Amino acid sequence: MAEKVTHSIVVGGAVTIHTVDGVIRRVRPIVLDNNDPKGWVIKARSKVGGPQDTEYTPNRKVQPAFIALTEKNRAYSYDRIRYPMIREDFVETPDGKNRNTENRGTSGYRRASWDEALDLVVREIKRIHKQYGQEAITAMTSSHHSWGNVGYKISTFARFFRMLGYTEVKDNPDSWEGFTWGAPHTYGYYWRLGCPETFDLLEDGLQNVETMIMWSHDPDTTHGGYAGNESVMWRHWLDDMGVQFIYIDPFNNFSSIKQADKWFAPRPGTDAALAEAIAYVWVTEGLYDKEYIAKHAHRFEEWCDYITGKGTDKLAKTPKWAEYETGIPAADIKALARRWASTKTMGGSGMRAGFGGVCRTVNGTEFARTMVLLFAMQGMGKPGQNMWGGNTGSPMDYDFWFGGYSDPLAMIWNEPIADNVAVNPVTQKLYRPNLPDAILNGHFEWYGEGFCGQGIDHEFTENIYPKPGCSKVHMFWRYGGTFMGTMLDTNKWVRMYQSPELEFVVNQDIHFHGEARMADVVLPACTSLERVDIGELCSSGNGGYQSHSQTGNSWQVVVFQDKAIEPLWDSRSDYWIFAETAKKLGWGEQFTEGRTELDWCKRYWEKSDLCDRISWEDFMKKGYFVPGVPEDRVRRYGFRWFAEGFPCDTPNHKQFQEEGKLGTFTGKWEFVSESLQYWAPHDEIRTPIATYKHSWEGHHSIKAKKYPFHLISPHPRFDYHTQHNSSTPWFWEIPENRVYLNGNPYLVARIHPEKAAEKGIKDGDVIELFNERGSVLCVAIVTYRCEVNTIHAFGSSGIYNPVEPGMESMDIGGCVNLLTPGRLIGDMVPGMAPNSTLMDVRKWEGELPKGQFFEDKLDKVAKEGDPDAETCIEIIEGHGFEKIQEKVRKNYLKGAGV
């Protein structure tokens, strides 16, 4: 028996992997040993009001979320794509027409060899180039389906497509729209895409804070992005010392239900009204930091006029008014406002204080801006007064540099990692949320560059597809993780895939998720456990848009993501797939620069501080490196420089911050936004004064008469985007997640007891969520945790099971984005608003549809390769997993014997 221990990073955290005889035996947290450095120590109170005499230090293990502990399952999962596959009724017509594209999603597949599949792909690339030009190929990555600086989405993928030339699909900031499109017009931070800097605020919080405002924030669920459970103890410490946690969310979320001292449940989309009413109390009662405001605020008086009813709308934003909008009693709103103003208060929205479900509503920008202003009114940057959500800002050695995934210096298409920078010659662009609209209508116009971290002006660039002089796109290469569960109005995506406009569709993925089932050629990629890579836990880099996100960890840890097992079945690493295709296209050598994947990994060691701290051999042997935090560390509290007026000393700052200015036009808190007045004076969705506005899909809409419920579909607790729920049947046994009925894992949807009674719905009933866009079957949880008009069902369902595959049919996979609106928040606010969805619900009286609907396709291809192959249902319920492991083990031992 040969047991080896390797390490990896996955979206759920860092893990230790035990492999025995060529198969993965178990996946564990990284438990630090005595050679690893000491943890940081923060001296703070043990009770609010008490002396700073207690030492806080993290557990000596790097704590992943439970999803990370399922990486073994993701590797051997039933929905793994095992072989290259070609759609059965795909016809390689020489002109790209008549290819039965309408059958995409319905048709089955046949097994192909790598050569056959890649030769076809290469022939099609050449045909498209000849027939239309380079720009007729488009390609798009997932949102975080794997980890590792080499194999990650914007590294290897970008290297290949930049060299090939392609129409890039710009990502929208789908998790924090309102902060990206709103907050920079109030306080800058466009280079952090609207999120604040939270450096060293864990220490500040532990020492000073008395009240935490968790506004649309579920830290125990969102895990600081990719930090797993690294920050959970911090909130236990705060809770134990008596810090008051106030949660504001239409759903009493999983952090709130455990730690809230008070839960407020505004009607979805009305949070800006609540914020304005808080401001009303402060303005009328004088409960704000007047000195700070006098010094740092721009056009505050005008804004006060708006709040107090002396503005153009002549409407005072009283707590009573807000009660009508939000459903929260006026008396409670006043109490909230006074508590916030009278104690040291930190808080924010969502996982980096600038995320959260509210900012994914039509009123998201206005909420984000108003909430930011509330923190400003209390002297943001002073001790205990800041935007901080209790899950970032741990002590860190700022003098240790290792590139994170979104750091331009840490990508294999760019120098210094590569010798030659890969530059995309195509300037035509597409925009992700509207990709189907652009394909289906042959035309789309929009503002902005998606992620506008390079400047406020980038929000207002004018884009048109097709770009004058350019061809439309006719080939689509999808890479990793499906968007069927995360982008809105899913049926729009189905229509796109079935359009003959897309003459050729390639999907390169690990699992056979929604979009893979729409492709003509499916290329099986392996998991990050089956290849080598290198990466840092929860680090998007020190120069990326979420710079220093690793302060969401207790431990900073760089990991040699060693290959635990060989790629399963015919799967290959993404790097191999791209390198092989490049070779067939005639530029394989330029693509690889003569390097193997391991060579690329070593480049990251060479070009970072890692090489000063540990030898390459020791690093590979140990598998990870913890730089540690020096005991005499320098504190760099977020916003303190601004509040106290010294040149900015926090990392990742801008020149003007050193001059004491924010990133707004005036350098101050803009209560009336000059940048919006300048760039978008006629925008009615996002006005110079942020105002609570009725949603185009909300309780004031006509539609509400027919579809009276709000659907909120927050980021999932039991998944990471679409990556784990589908592949891990264990999760289907968690009652708060799914219910496994009749061979199908139904998503749970939550409804308030009062409304459930009206609808005759009982706990555990199968219910249909529906509106004019589609319908989804779920299982009801009747709960007081829902605001009374709200249906809660987690978004990002990795499982999409339309009852009629390939049709715009009812879904039983829990893909509630079938119901969400596909339109942008506004013409000039190119974000999406999944939490502005109206719908209705009814008890499902019909028979349950049969189980899932795609396994037969996988089973058929698997049997072509191996008549003894394990079927999907065997892997889910039977001994398929054991049989697969047994076969691989046998092969491994045979090889080991030779």
Partner 1 sequence: MVRCSVADPNALRAAVDRYFSTFTGELICALQLWYEGLGGQGVPGAAEMTAITEAIANTPGWKDMGDMRYEKFGVQKSFKRTEKLDLHGKKMIQHMFKREALYKEPDGTVLKIVTSELWNLRCFEVKNGKMTGPMIKIHPDSDRAKALVEA
Partner 2 sequence: MRLGIAVDSRRCMGCWCCFTACKDEHCGFASKLSAAQPMMGQKWIDVREWERGDSSRRVKSASVATLCAHCEEPACMKASKDGAVYKRDDGIVIIDPDKSKGQKAIVDACPIKVVFWNEELEIPQKCTMCAELLDDPEYLAYLGDPALKQPRCVEACPNQCLYFGDLDDPKSDIAKIVASQKNTQLEEFGGKETNVKWLNVPTRFLAGTVYQPEELEEVLIGAKVKLTCKETGETWETETNYFGDWEVEWLPKNKKIDVVISAEGYKPVTCTASTEKDHYVGMTYMEKA
**What is d(CA 558, CA 412) in angstroms, rounded to the nearest whole number?**
18
Per CB under 8 A, the segment of 170-178, 329-337, 575-583, 642-650 that binds partner 1 is 642-650
Site track 198-227 with partner 2 (rule: CB under 8 A), x = hit: ----------------------x-------
Which of 109, 398, 405, 800 is flagged as catalytic? 405
The token pair that represents 396 in the structure block:
């860190």
Judged by CB under 8 A, the chain residues 185 through 204 that form the site for partner 1 are 190-191
Contact 782, 756 (CB under 8 A): yes
The question of whether 405 is a catalytic residue gets the answer yes
The question of whether 144 is a catalytic residue gets the answer yes
Cβ closer to partner 2: 441 or 742? 742
Does residue 675 interact with partner 1 by CB under 8 A? yes
Cβ closer to partner 1: 487 or 558? 558
Cβ closer to partner 1: 76 or 401? 401
Q: Which of 6, 542, 549, 744 binds partner 1 (CB under 8 A)?
A: 542
Per CB under 8 A, the segment of 40-48, 102-110, 650-658, 780-788 that binds partner 1 is 650-658
* CA angle centred on 529, ends 512 and 545, rounded to 5°: 85
Contact 474, 465 (CB under 8 A): no
- Minimum distance from residue 233 beta carbon to partner 2 (Å): 7
Does residue 820 interact with partner 2 by CB under 8 A? no
Helix axes 271-285, 300-307, angle to 10 degrees: 110
649 binds, among partner 1, partner 2, none (CB under 5 to 8 A by kind): partner 1
Cβ closer to partner 2: 283 or 452? 283
**What is d(CA 833, CA 361) in angstroms, rounded to the nearest whole number?**
4
Does residue 33 interact with partner 2 by CB under 8 A? yes
Q: Which of 120, 206, 265, 396 binds partner 2 (CB under 8 A)?
A: 265
655 binds, among partner 1, partner 2, none (CB under 5 to 8 A by kind): partner 1
Judged by CB under 8 A, the chain residues 383 through 442 that form the site for partner 1 are 398-399, 401, 409, 415-416, 419-420
Contact 632, 563 (CB under 8 A): no
Does residue 447 interact with partner 1 by CB under 8 A? no
Pinpoint the alpha helices (H) of 780-879.
Answer: 855-865, 872-877
Q: What does 37-89 look like in DSSP terms, one character per residue?
A: PPPP-EEE-SSTTS-S-EEE---SEE---GGGGGHHHHHS-TTB--S-EEETT
Cβ closer to partner 1: 217 or 668? 668
409 binds, among partner 1, partner 2, none (CB under 5 to 8 A by kind): partner 1
Helix axes 597-606, 574-585, angle to 10 degrees: 110
With CB under 8 A, what is the number of residues at the site for partner 2? 70
Which of 36, 79, 174, 574 is flagged as catalytic? 174
With CB under 8 A, what is the number of residues at the site for partner 1? 47
Does residue 661 interact with partner 1 by CB under 8 A? yes
Does residue 65 interact with partner 2 by CB under 8 A? yes
Q: How many H-runs (helices) and E-runs (strands) does the chain carry?
A: 29, 36
Q: Which residue in 313, 309, 265 sits closest to 284, CA to CA?
A: 309
Does residue 654 interact with partner 2 by CB under 8 A? no
413 binds, among partner 2, partner 1, none (CB under 5 to 8 A by kind): none
CA terminus-to-terminus distance, the chain: 16
- Minimum distance from residue 241 beta carbon to partner 2 (Å): 14
Site track 451-480 with partner 1 (rule: CB under 8 A), x = hit: ---xxxx--x--------------------
What residues pair up with 477 in beta bridges, in sequence order?
A: 139, 506
Does residue 550 interact with partner 1 by CB under 8 A? no
Does residue 241 interact with partner 2 by CB under 8 A? no
The token pair that represents 401 in the structure block:
């540099």
HEC secondary structure over 316-364: ECCHHHHHHHHCCCHHHHHHHHHHHHHCCEEEEECCCCECCHHHHCCCH
**What is d(CA 122, CA 581) in angstroms, rounded to the nearest whole number?**
7
Say if residue 416 is preceded by a cis peptide, omega within 30 of 0.
yes
Handedness of CA 180, 186, 192, 196 (dihedral sign): negative
SS3 9: strand
Per CB under 8 A, the segment of 111-119, 519-527, 578-586, 783-791 that binds partner 2 is 783-791
**What is d(CA 262, CA 385) in angstroms, rounded to the nearest whole number?**
20
Q: Which residue in 72, 74, 81, 11 sits closest to 511, CA to CA?
A: 81
- The count of residues in the chain is 898
Does residue 673 interact with partner 1 by CB under 8 A? no
Q: Which residue in 411, 374, 17, 40 sits closest to 213, CA to CA?
A: 374
Cβ closer to partner 1: 676 or 799? 676
β-pairing, 61-62 vs 30-31, is: antiparallel
**What is d(CA 558, CA 549) in angstroms, rounded to the nearest whole number?**
14
Per CB under 8 A, the segment of 395-403, 484-492, 777-785, 815-823 that binds partner 2 is 777-785
460 binds, among partner 1, partner 2, none (CB under 5 to 8 A by kind): partner 1
Cβ closer to partner 1: 483 or 665? 665
Residues that bind partner 2 (CB under 8 A): 3, 5, 25-29, 31, 33-34, 59, 61, 63-66, 69-70, 72-73, 220, 228-230, 232-233, 236, 252, 254-255, 257-258, 262-263, 265, 319-320, 329-332, 334-336, 338-339, 718, 729-730, 732-736, 740, 752, 783-788, 875-879, 881-882, 885
**Residues forming the active site:** 144, 174, 405
Binding residues vs partner 1 (CB under 8 A): 190-191, 298-299, 398-399, 401, 409, 415-416, 419-420, 454-457, 460, 542-543, 606-609, 611, 634, 646-647, 649, 651, 653-656, 658-659, 661, 663-667, 672, 674-675, 677-678, 681
